[in-house]
Structure 1
Amino acid sequence: MKVTLYFPFLIGFAVLGCATDSQIADATRSPEVPTNWQLQQSQLAVNDNWLAEFKQPILAKLVHEALTSNRTLRQAAYDTEILEQRLVQSGAAFWPTLDLKLTSGRSQNANTDVTANSHSIELNAGYEIDIWGKLSNAEQQANLIYLANKAQYQQSRLTLVADVVTNWFNLVTSKQLQSLAKRRVENARQNLDIIESGYKQGLNGALDVYLSRNELNSELSNLADQHTSLLQNARNLEKILSRYPSGAIVSSAAQAELPLLDWAIPTGLPSDVMTRKPALQASWYQVLALDAAVAFAHKQRFPSINLNAAISDNSNELSDLLSGSSIAWSILGSITAPLFRAGDLKANEEISRLQLKQQEQLYVDTLYNAFAEVENGMTLEDSLKQSYQATLNASQNARQAETLSFEQYQKGLVNYTTVLEAQGRSFDAQSALIQLKNKLLANRVALYVALGGDFSEPQNNQEDELINE
């Protein structure tokens, strides 16, 4: 048959193969997004330098150390580089293949004992015509998977920075709580000295002495617990920095303070999160990649057109190869079409379509989870600020009550139990105040990440090398 007889059919297949529309639902492409946040703080653009707002230079050093040393981040970087090479592989399908084969042998006839040499050289070239755009879909899928992984790597960097900052403030908090516990121990010792002195003078009863000793032992136990917590927080931070977890970083937090959040966070608009947050970008790239996979699976059901060419030469002497006397060449065109696969290709296309629908649901779920993180973060910050102010007032009142109760006890107006209760309320309020400041800071960091804010200066926000050798 003549090739022209097949030409109309090839054109028809090409039109059908290339007419594969996107399978992504309109509801996924344009999800319902609110105009403003429920607790809109500011419509200013999300801050791209939130790390500097804490005004703690040591944080910049710790963040840099983590970004260059953290092993989990380095693993993610290697994953991204692997996918970059996979992208190169997918692009190679558009180029012809060229292979050189050289064979050399020696044989002997068993009856005549005659030996003969044989040498051959062959150059083969192959090329698949991407008439349906199937190879383009495969390359598009590989590119989108790479972009998704790259965006996820950026999210991992942001999460790592947030972990460094949060664990640093946890360390500072533990250090301050340990200092508070030491003051409580010293206070209990002073009280015990006063009570024992009064008991010897007949001014106090034995019960007050026992209560005072019990209070000192309780405070010593609390101090030991705070020391353990301090070392644990220090080692957690050192692990993130890929240091040996010795707890030596405690000394860096000796003079550090917890900053008080007296500035409002620029929250931007909900729609900004869709374009700013790397995790959402990664999820959307995955949707697009699976959409390309559906198109690829669909076009797998159409014929493949391949061109092959070969040049070869044979000789009894290796030096005579390519002499031109026996060079042969061939050109071959082939069309391979699946005729019967028992529904395998159709099922594979349907699987790809269902995987796309799965990823669409995951993307929308990820999107609304991101919105919920921001809404909950703003609500929690408002609540924590109110709690902090109330606890600050309670702490001031408790300190005055502590001083007054001990003065009244020395005058014989109240019993020692009243003093212990006042001291307990005072120290508990101070401890709560420190912990609330830390919760405010942790929530603020989480809110920055939820909004998609970057931690560095915009002009320096160029992507670092994925692998720092």
Structure 2
Amino acid sequence: MKFRYFTFSLLALSLSACSLTPALVKPALPVPASYGPTLPEAGGNAADLGWRQMLLDPRLQRLVELALQNNRDLRLAALNVDAVRAQYQIQDASRYPAVGAALGGTRQRGTDNQFTAGIAMSAFEIDLFGRLRSLSDAAFARYLATVEGQRATQLVLIGAVADAYLEECLAEEQLLLSRQTLRDWREALILTQRLRAAQQGSSLDVAQAEGQAAQAEADVLARERALLLARNQLGLLLGGPLPDALPAGWPLADQPVLTQLPAGVPSDLLVRRPDIVQAEYALVAANAEIGAARTAFLPRLSLTAQLGLASPELGDLFRGGARSWSFAPQITQPLFQGGQLRAELQLSKIRTQAAVLQYEQAIATAFREVNDGLAGSATFAQQIAAQQRVVAASGQRQRLSALRYGAGQDSRLELLDAQRQAYAAQQTLLDLRREQFKSAIALYKALGGGLEE
């Protein structure tokens, strides 16, 4: 009974030990209180939208599903969480006594035999100044940081799958446009060659038509390569080749882009963005390690104790053995270690300062990413509308130039320029639609969206 009371007293003393960990003072937000005044404002926050509400294309939804199931980076992040959780459990276990059963005996010439059995507690450190508690707090904070790191990996993965899918869509549509253009320009080349044979055209016209067709052929090959690269990237993100049974995707022009995403206020990012929360937990861990480094200068008290039975005969040990106990406290005080303890304390302070800078950098980066996304949502729709007018005007010019060339009123060079302008305008429009969707997804991810389905 006395032994148990003493043990519980030691535990209470350890759990209520003082702490030398400095108070954590978070830096002020290195960003304005609101986003740019010229940008659109809306209530709520886009992070409340599940990724299925943001990514409505059924093919893209299926690709995200497969990536969340099979992506190796995400699986590695999950294993990292499990590993750091185990490290925390190992560290936290050092705050409690390790009790085990012991059975032993001694036999010496000229002396009596001695056999013992009981329970023993070996070298249990009484946490007088909170060293073990500080180390446990640091390990727990690093575990929480890895949990947030896993969540951040999920956001990055969803954004990467969406970007790769958009590259695939762009490559497919540009490939179709390039192939159609190649067919048209090859027909124009044949017509130009016939006109030259009929003495109604020049060798210059033929050379221009040949160059134009060759350029279209080169574009087709470039688009085919871009399509293969985009699918290779998707396969890497999905953790395997693209399955055959995928839903049909939507054209870029039909993608339902949510361009007016509500952004809330910058302070929302502190709880919405897992990378910021991860940096904050890393700061908490580094700060707790300062407390552990400070306690290294102070005395340490450890205890070894045993309670059990003793008997000169092994057969009588559990029948009539006498009760025995031992109690061996030990206190140690560092005297000289060549400056190691001071260096370790200085190192922990430097790591905390670095963690502060990383925390500030995470916030500043998040703020810039949101502002970039808002700038895109404010301008892409108008730019696409203007580019559509460019496509319409260049198409009309191409048709009129073809009529004038057929009537002998325009040169072959004028028609060639009109055709190239119309082709480039259509390619640019496809690029803009892809960029508008990417900008919207980047804003959604920057606001912390993508954690919920």
Q: What range is the shorter-chain TM-score in?
A: 0.7 to 0.9
Which residue does the alignment assign to 1:363? 359
1:213 aligns with one of 207, 210, 213: 210
For residue 316 of structure 1, report the CA deviation from its aligned partner. Answer: 8.7
Which residue does the alignment assign to 1:467? none
Where in structure 2 are there 5+ consecutive unaligned residues? 1-13
Which residue does the alignment assign to 1:344? 340
1:273 aligns with one of 269, 276, 287: 269
Which residue does the alignment assign to 1:64? 65
Letter in 2 for 1:30: A
Contact 1:409 1:415 in 2 (8 A): yes
Distance 1:124 1:21 in 2: 32
Deviations 1:273-314 (A, max 9, x none): 112100000001111111111111112222222232124667
Q: Secondary structure at the match of 2:383?
A: helix
For residue 120 of structure 1, report the CA deviation from its aligned partner. Answer: 6.3
Distance 1:317 1:222 in 2: 95
For residue 383 of structure 1, report the CA deviation from its aligned partner. Answer: 4.2
Distance 2:243 2:99 in 1: 60
Comparing 365-374 and 122-131, the one that deviates more: 122-131
The alpha-carbon distance between structure 1 residues 119 and 455, as it changes in their structure 2 partners (threshold 3 A), is closer
Which residue does the alignment assign to 1:161? 158
For residue 195 of structure 1, report the CA deviation from its aligned partner. Answer: 2.2
Distance 2:365 2:261 in 1: 20
1:244-283 map, 5 Å: 244=241, 256-258=251-253, 259=255, 261=257, 263-283=259-279
The alpha-carbon distance between structure 1 residues 405 and 226, as it changes in their structure 2 partners (threshold 3 A), is same
Normalising by structure 1, we get a TM-score of: 0.83
For residue 455 of structure 1, report the CA deviation from its aligned partner. Answer: 5.2
Which residue does the alignment assign to 1:334? 330
For residue 440 of structure 1, report the CA deviation from its aligned partner. Answer: 1.5
Which residue does the alignment assign to 1:9? none
Contact 1:231 1:250 in 2 (8 A): no
Which residue does the alignment assign to 1:5? none
The alpha-carbon distance between structure 1 residues 363 and 333, as it changes in their structure 2 partners (threshold 3 A), is same
Letter in 1 for 2:252: E
Contact 2:252 2:434 in 1 (8 A): no
1:11-410 map, 5 Å: 18=18, 20=20, 22-25=22-25, 28-38=26-36, 39-47=38-46, 48-49=48-49, 51=51, 52-102=53-103, 123-126=119-122, 127-244=124-241, 256-258=251-253, 259=255, 261=257, 263-311=259-307, 321-325=317-321, 328-410=324-406
Contact 1:167 1:233 in 2 (8 A): yes
Distance 2:398 2:349 in 1: 70
Contact 1:148 1:282 in 2 (8 A): yes
Contact 1:129 1:306 in 2 (8 A): yes
Deviations 1:175-218 (A, max 9, x none): 00000101111111221232233334433233323322232222
Q: Secondary structure at the match of 2:252?
A: coil
For residue 130 of structure 1, report the CA deviation from its aligned partner. Answer: 2.3
Distance 2:387 2:128 in 1: 72
Root-mean-square deviation over aligned CA pairs? 2.9
Deviations 1:345-382 (A, max 9, x none): 23322221221112112211221122122223323443
Distance 1:223 1:248 in 2: 25
Q: How many residues align?
A: 431
Letter in 1 for 2:150: Y
For residue 447 of structure 1, report the CA deviation from its aligned partner. Answer: 1.5
Distance 2:225 2:423 in 1: 19
For residue 55 of structure 1, report the CA deviation from its aligned partner. Answer: 2.2
Distance 1:250 1:237 in 2: 15
For residue 92 of structure 1, report the CA deviation from its aligned partner. Answer: 1.2
Contact 1:234 1:249 in 2 (8 A): no
Q: Secondary structure at the match of 1:18?
A: coil
Deviations 1:114-152 (A, max 9, x none): xxx997656421433223222221211111111111111
Deviations 1:228-248 (A, max 9, x none): 11111111111110113xx77
Matched, 1:413 2:409: yes
Identity %: 24
Distance 2:402 2:180 in 1: 16
Which residue does the alignment assign to 2:9? none
Letter in 2 for 1:83: V
Distance 2:350 2:451 in 1: 38
The alpha-carbon distance between structure 1 residues 391 and 50, as it changes in their structure 2 partners (threshold 3 A), is farther
Comparing 293-302 and 270-279, the one that deviates more: 293-302
Distance 1:264 1:43 in 2: 8
Letter in 1 for 2:83: I
The alpha-carbon distance between structure 1 residues 402 and 157, as it changes in their structure 2 partners (threshold 3 A), is same
Contact 1:172 1:253 in 2 (8 A): no
Distance 1:252 1:172 in 2: 14
Deviations 1:238-274 (A, max 9, x none): 1110113xx7779866764352646411111111111
Q: Secondary structure at the match of 2:121?
A: strand
Distance 1:306 1:105 in 2: 26
Normalising by structure 2, we get a TM-score of: 0.86
Comparing 410-419 and 97-106, the one that deviates more: 97-106
Distance 1:361 1:178 in 2: 46
Where in structure 1 are there 5+ consecutive unaligned residues? 1-13, 110-116, 458-469
Distance 1:372 1:241 in 2: 29
